[in-house]
Chain A
Amino acid sequence: MNRLGVNLAGLNLSNPTMLASGILGYSVETLESIVEGGAGAVVTKSIGLEPRDGYANPTVVQVSCGLINAIGLPNPGIEEFTSEIRAAKTALNVPLIVSVYGFSEEEYATVSKKAADAGADAVELNVSCPHVKETGSEIGQSLEILSKVVRKVKEVMEKPVFVKLSHNVTNLTDIAEVAAKSGADALTVINTVKAMAIDAETAMPILSNKRGGLSGPAIKPIAIRSVYDIYERVKTPIIGCGGIANWRDAVEFLLAGASAIQIGTAIALRGPNVFSAITRGMETYLKRKGVKSVKEIVGLSHRR
């Protein structure tokens, strides 16, 4: 029996670990190496309607307990990327989720439909990128726009639609509820947290975009709280994300209410095998606790 298997909005994952969007998610070969590393599902880089070059360097600043990035959503555009999706679908034996961003509800819908038609098992709407104007957080902050985007995407495709939320809002649980009511099949919580770094010698912001988003261990407590709060409010499955680097972190997210988890920055620390290391640790934990399925611990801390 596989204690770690989960059904996430209809997708069967052999274990609850997933690759977070934007990390090595451009090519079939790198996605394959992540799957070999033990990931239960993979999410691609966020893809838009048109190709985008992203920002000039510096695009990443390493800080205590994490890193700040403003890569600027570089991607080849959905037309070019469909061949990669098709190839990935045949090469990978785990669910393939394509992350999608757009500048309007139509763009989200068009890109999502093309991704699904090319073979994506689900899409994840990135409505929470903290460093690109007019996509991402502007959409994820407005209850009205968010609802329109999710409904529009649900209209054009049948496969599951995940919505990735940001903590950079005053009413996270309201936003989660609206996403759920508009038809989201799962909520990914959270994207990077608004952040910045300035160099003392030159008095200059380091990132070329000046502002960026923080990831890594520094944001884990913020993400845990976000998952915990949303779990109390909505029934939609939650995918926890933010600062997960070992099995304890992963278990903490499940206890807070996440059905699955995503890993990004820790790949810089531990390489693609971080997935199997976390999975093994979780399995030992479940055995030790006498728990037959990982599902039994989802949200367990709410009952304590």
Chain B
Amino acid sequence: MSDYHIAANKLRTTPILTVETESPTVKTFTFKDKECSRAKPGQFLMLWIPGVDEIPLSILSTQEDGRVSVAVKEVGEATQALHSMKAAEIIGIRGPFGNSFTEKHGRILMVGGGTGIAPLLFLAKKVASKTRKLVFVIGAKTRKELLFIDKIEALCSKSSVIATTEDGSYGIRCLATMPLEKMLDEEKFDMVYTCGPEHMLQKVFDLAEKHRIPLEASLERLMRCAIGLCGSCIIGRYRVCRDGPVFTANQLREVKGEFGIAKRDFNGRKIPLE
């Protein structure tokens, strides 16, 4: 996408086509948007909830007929307002924004937590048929919160999907990063992709560093303009909206003082990650 295209990306309004409940706190919204239907895995869009807010969301899937889906977890005012919306109600879309995951075809490991699974599922769909090996580790607090497990199992063959829950209600009772240590000691991978809570990303990053495996991680920061101007989303010298949201291990090494540690508040001050 050309730079001019990004800067000139106007807001489009469009009706919600379908709303699906994925878990007690996550719903998938589908709508038509030609521009975002051409997005690559890892890119995000800005979704306007008229009169409420505009929030960044990773693109979960796209269809050739122009349909686009996002998976949204209810966490606060904007996501709550969106969850209360139904088919035919109007939302606004800007995007797609940001870079994307590189699409590697060797032995691939994906580690996703919470709604961070969304962009990885999009990526997995693209690369699954071409990879030599694809292992998907997903984590959630409880069985009910494990997202898209059926879709992932259909893509990866059941044996290479490792589900973890913090309460043990499904799969292994542990954090998503726990099975990784053993796996990385025993198996070889050419690439790790990860998205989810930043503490998880940091853990995955440390393990990938230890085993010298290239890694790409998708980060979240406060977004306002989404086109690299306002400075709300910065980490080190990078703008997450424009230079990210996907960062390589090399880049993450450069921002060690902030990655997994600090983010910028609404007023631009550096604050600890919660």
Contact = CB atoms under 8 A, between A and B. Distances in A.
Interface of A: 22-27, 29-30, 32-33, 45, 51-54, 56-64, 67, 69, 71, 74-77, 80, 199-202, 204, 206, 208, 216, 264-265, 267-271
B239 interface: yes
Interface of B: 3-4, 6-11, 13, 46, 48, 50-51, 53-55, 90, 92, 94, 223-232, 234, 236-237, 239, 264-269
B236 A267 contact: no
Q: Is the interface of B mostly helix, strand, loop or mixed?
A: loop
Contact of B234 (A22, A26, A62, A267): A26
A22 B232 CA distance: 10
Contacts of A22: 230
23 contacts: A22-B230, A23-B229, A23-B230, A23-B231, A51-B267, A54-B266, A58-B54, A60-B226, A62-B7, A63-B10, A64-B10, A67-B227, A71-B230, A74-B268, A76-B268, A76-B269, A80-B269, A199-B92, A201-B13, A202-B90, A206-B11, A268-B228, A269-B7
Contacts of B50: 199, 202, 204
B16 to A, nearest CB: 12
A54 B3 contact: no
Nearest to A216: B7
A25 B11 contact: no
A33 B54 CA distance: 28
Given A268-B6, A269-B7, A53 B92 contact: no
A60 B230 contact: yes
B237 A30 contact: yes
A33 B237 contact: yes
Task: Please indicate which of the listed interface residues B11, B232, B237, B239 has the most CB atoms of chain A within 10 Å of its own CB.
Answer: B237
A25 B90 contact: no
A265 B10 contact: no
